[in-house]
Every structure is written in C-alpha cells, then in structure tokens.
Amino acid sequence: MSGRLAVPRPAGAGLARMLVERNALSFRRQWVAFVTGFTEPVFYLFSLGIGLGALVGSVTTDGGSAVPYAVFVAPAMLATSAMNAGVMDSTFNVFFKLKYAKLYDSVLATRMGPRDIAIGEVTWSLLRGGTYAAAFLVVAAVTGVVPSWWGLLALPAAVFVAFAFSAVGMFATTYMRSFVDFDYINLVVQPMFLLSATFFPLAAYPGWAQWLVQATPLYHGVALCRALCLGEVGLGLLWHVAYLALMGAVGVLGAARRVDVLLLR
C-alpha cells in the first residue's frame, strides 16, 4: 500500500488550468524558444513551396483541383507546425518534469489528480500549437497561398492536430526510461513528416503504399488542413476529425492512467 497522503481530488474541479498557468509563467523567460517553434515549417514553405514550386508548377490534389505547388504544400506545413508543438511539449518537456524535476510528485500532493495533469499538459500544448499555427497561417495568407476563406477554419483544425499528437505523445512519454528512448520518437515523426502526403498528393504513391499513408495521424491532419485551405469541403472531412478525436481521447485517458500507476500506486 502506498505511503502517500490521500488528498481529496474532486472530479471536474477545473484544477488543470493551474498547471497551464504554471507552464505559462515558466516560459516568461524562455519566450524565444516559444515563438520560434514555427520557423522550420516556414522555411520549408519558402524553400520548397515557393522556391521549388517555381520549377514544379501546378499539382493536382486528391480532390481534383490543380493548384500551384506552394498552395499545395502550405496546409501540410500548417499541420506539421501543430504536430511539432504537440510532440515537443508532450515528450521532452513532460519527461523532464516526470523523471528529473519531479514536478508531478509535488502536483499530486495537492488536490490535483492524474487526469488534471494530463489535461493540463495537453491544454498547454494546444495553446502552444495554436500560437504556432496562427503565426504560420498569417505568413501563408500574406504570401497568398491560402486561396479560400475556408482557410480560417484551418486554425482550429491545426489545434485539433496538436491535441491528438500531444495526448498520444504524453502517453508514450510515460513509458520512456531515458532520453535515449526519444530516438524512437524521431524514428516515427520524421518519416511521417516526409511521407504523409505532405509534399506529394496521395495519388502519387504506389497503390500498396497509399493505405499505409492513410493510416498515419499526420496524413489526416494534412488532409483536413489542405481541404479547408483549398475550399474542398465535404462530409469526408468528418473521417479525419473522428480519427484525430479518437487519437486524442485515447492519449489523454492513457496518459492519466499511466501517471496514476507511476506516481500513486
């Protein structure tokens, strides 16, 4: 039996916001690291989308529209920016707090419980992902690569992408033993970034590979953001939303369960 003091943790107390506030305060002196997280997708947009796009010309999307290559790539970079924010916060930062700073041990000595920790960290990732996505969307709009007003909905879509990756990232982090294990994160994220219909339409992949691409989480984020930015809106987008929602829900519940097992039992 655990020797920890049992502290009442009322359900639905909204205590997760305290962890969000704590993270916001801790980043006051690290604002450079916070605001520069979206720069990599912006560089890809200008180097590949606009630079290489001048050579590629137009691309036919899976929806049948012929668009300039920069217009095709921009929504994928938006989804990638959100993914990067979700993965960055929910893996490296959470691991340090869990294994080295022992932050969650202190948090659990208050009225906050494992679910509050999971929701608080995921919410913080959403705020960070939303910031990256908003900044990138402004850059994309100014450069003229967002042709549809539906593109405004790409911002909440990108936040949804950040939610899915953040939740699952935190869940996976609870199984990490050392920083060496983060090589597995890169082993998953980097190929997914390159091969999730990010730079090429799904039809460009061999038939046997298309179902593998469609199984990746980033593909659903890219497809959702791309359809909104191009105005290719239809009921088929609900499939992408459902995939990301299920992924996020499993991640939050799994992360809360793992924190409970690791620190309270």
> For 87-103, how does the pLDDT look when each residue is reduced to its tens digit (9 = 90+)?
888 888 889 888 888 88
Owning domain of residue 207: 20-264
Model pLDDT, residue 37? 63
Model pLDDT, residue 49? 66
Q: Greater confidence, 2 or 23?
A: 23
Model pLDDT, residue 228? 94
Average pLDDT over residues 6-23: 66
Q: Greater confidence, 26 or 148?
A: 148
| DSSP label at residue 265 | -
Residue 151 lies in a domain: yes
Residue 10 lies in a domain: no
Average pLDDT over residues 193-210: 89
Q: What digits encode the pLDDT tens for the residues 50-91?
A: 677 677 778 888 887 888 888 898 899 899 888 888 888 888
Residue 69 lies in a domain: yes
Per-residue tokens: 214 = 């469609």
Residue 41 lies in a domain: yes
Model pLDDT, residue 36? 63
Residue 9 lies in a domain: no
To the nearest 5 percent, what fractions of the chain are helix, strand and coil?
Answer: 75, 0, 25
Alpha-carbon span 223 to 229, nearest angstrom: 10
> CA-CA distances (angstroms) from residue 238 to 227, 233, 242, 252?
12, 10, 6, 21
Residue 179 lies in a domain: yes
Residues 6 or more apart from 264 whose CB is under 8 A from it? Answer: 2, 4, 108, 114
Model pLDDT, residue 4? 47
What is the tally of structural domains in the chain?
Answer: 1
Residue 13 lies in a domain: no
Residue 12 lies in a domain: no
Model pLDDT, residue 265? 63
